[in-house]
Amino acid sequence: MNTESRNPKTMHLDQMTPLEIARVMNEENARSVASLEAVLPQIAQAIDMITDAFSRGGRLLYMGAGTSGRLAVVDASECPPTFGVSPEKVIGICAGGMEALVRSSENLEDDPNEGILELQKRNLNPNDVVVGISASGGAAYVCNAVSYAREMGCGTVAITCNPGSRLGTLADIDISPATGPEVLSGSTRLKAGNAQKMILNMLSTGAMVRSGYVYENLMINLKPSNQKLRKRVISIVREITELEEDAAVALLEKGAWNIKEAIRLWKEGGAE
């Protein structure tokens, strides 16, 4: 597998200076970014699939193990604060649950049934989309879950870094950038992890944009849950309305700090 082979540029990694290590890692990271160019059409197809699922009341469920599972949970957990959606709209499932997020549990990727059970616990239905994430594309936990989801009539997507993997053959859409061998052989938290995170970001952000949670490039569903986000909400309203800060705050207070409601009030004549 590409992700398990040795990188000829780092055969003497243990003898490199700190600067040489940083430079070769930076160069290889750039290669992982470039590898996404070839799979942008598949990413776009997946964005359309997820957007359609959202329009039917469906959910986006990420399935992964190890690094892939942790990345899935991170992306899913960022959707509520960024887009103001329910935590049930985008769900990240990592083999081993919460414990696996902070403690290694890589052996769980070999369990052929646990992923299916996790989907059953969440009452999977045909309106949902299941995205399986596995750097190698061979994790039984992920492969069997995706296969089950497809049998249930769900849209399915595979994210791997090994073109032609088993997982890729099981999904409706196969997103498999050829990131190549890692700087540290087999350590897929590096280039493969970079690529997977970027793809997850594209899928969730693209689907939310297409579903109306964004105006221009502004997060109009943002919830002001802390001081930083409160300032950002005020800034977004000012950007759209071109009002001074006091006037923008007045609109937001009248609209219960909901950006869309504040804009509606502004269009109807302001906060007076």
What is the C-alpha separation between 28 and 14, in angstroms, rounded?
17
What is the C-alpha separation between 146 and 137, in angstroms, rounded?
11
In angstroms, the Cα distances linking 45 to 33, 51, 63, 184, 239 are 19, 10, 19, 32, 32
**DSSP code of 174?**
E
Instruction: Indicate if 78 belongs to the active site.
Output: yes
Residues 222 and 229 sit within 8 Å (Cβ to Cβ): yes
* Catalytic residue chosen out of the listed positions 4, 20, 28, 78: 78
Instruction: Indicate if 109 belongs to the active site.
Output: yes
What is the C-alpha separation between 50 and 224, in angstroms, rounded?
26
* Catalytic residue chosen out of the listed positions 20, 37, 99, 109: 109
Among positive and negative, which fits the CA dihedral 64, 138, 114, 189?
Answer: negative
In angstroms, the Cα distances linking 37 to 92, 132, 137, 189 are 25, 20, 20, 20
Residues 2 and 178 sit within 8 Å (Cβ to Cβ): yes
3-state class of 16 per DSSP? coil
Q: Show which residues are catalytic.
A: 78, 109
